[in-house]
Structure 1
Amino acid sequence: MDFGPFIERTGEVIDLLGVVAIVLGVLVAVVDAGMRRLRQAGPVYARFRRVLGRGILIGLELLVAADIIRTVAVEPTLESVSVLALIVVIRTFLSWSLEVEISGRWPWQKARAGAVDEGSPRVPAATGGD
């Protein structure tokens, strides 16, 4: 039984899900920003960037997964794996850049910050804004 067409189709479906995630992320960010602007509920721009960045990150992760499935599972040639490696490096750089923009720190700094925060007393978060 040849799984090639099934795996190729699976990669295409995950690709589509990645694009849908990005489009939905943009729409959610725009609607959220519009609603916050109308209600004058706190800073609009910072939250818009954060919501938009999260949608893009989810989409990029799905697109990388689809590339891996299609490239490695279907026909792993040296050329296709090299192209995959380049795509993953570029998308990983984009993901890290977006993560830094969203959270203000590198992904590996979250674990250290969480370990430090666990020992300190919890302070209730301020409500009403970002």
Structure 2
Amino acid sequence: MELESAIETTGKAIDAAGVAVIVVGAVAATGVFTHRLLRGRDGLPAAYRLYRQSLGRAILLGLEFLVAADIIRTVAVSPTFTSVGILAAIVGVRTFLSFSLQVELEGRWPWQRRGLTGDERGT
């Protein structure tokens, strides 16, 4: 029972770290965005684009922590078919969110190389 308790506590700590990463990242991105706007050199479109990218990166990193915590708690503490099925659904949704955010942030599919022109991509 002590091992299960330690694993559950570890999972909760990693969950908290994931939430903290998202919150700190959002606050930092908002601060940088505000600073860029007040400085006035970048303009709203450029500052907003960088804000979205910074916020998206914070969310992606936080999601990775949250998925890791779910895996630790589910597989190590209660590996029943039901709990593994729920974990699979949670990981599937979070993976889809991560994939979608990454495509939006980078403006390309993950399997496309960076810096290719339209002709080199076949478009």
TM-score range, shorter chain: 0.7 to 0.9
Provide the secondary structure at the position in 2 that maps to 1:3.
helix
Aligned to 1:125: none
The CA deviation at 1:9 is 0.3
Whether 2:32 is the aligned partner of 1:28: answer no
The CA deviation at 1:41 is 3.2
Deviations 1:79-104 (A, max 9, x none): 00000000000000000110011111
Structure 2: give runs of 5+ residues left out of the alignment.
Answer: 117-123
Deviations 1:42-64 (A, max 9, x none): 21110000000000000000000
The CA deviation at 1:105 is 1.2
Whether 2:107 is the aligned partner of 1:98: answer no
CA distance in 2, matches of 1:106, 1:6: 39
Amino acid in the other structure paired with 2:21: A
Provide the secondary structure at the position in 1 that maps to 2:114.
helix
Structure 1: give runs of 5+ residues left out of the alignment.
Answer: 117-130
TM-score (norm 2): 0.87
CA distance in 2, matches of 1:28, 1:69: 29
Amino acid in the other structure paired with 1:15: D
Provide the secondary structure at the position in 2 that maps to 1:113.
coil
The CA deviation at 1:75 is 1.2
Aligned to 2:84: 81
Whether 2:16 is the aligned partner of 1:13: answer no
CA distance in 1, matches of 2:59, 2:37: 22
TM-score (norm 1): 0.82
Please say if residues 18 and 61 of structure 1, whose CA atoms lie closer than 8 Å, have aligned partners that are also in contact.
yes
Amino acid in the other structure paired with 1:107: P
Whether 2:31 is the aligned partner of 1:51: answer no
CA distance in 1, matches of 2:5, 2:110: 36
Please say if residues 96 and 106 of structure 1, whose CA atoms lie closer than 8 Å, have aligned partners that are also in contact.
no
Following TM superposition, where does structure 1 have runs of at least 4 consecutive aligned residues deviating by more than 4 angstroms? none
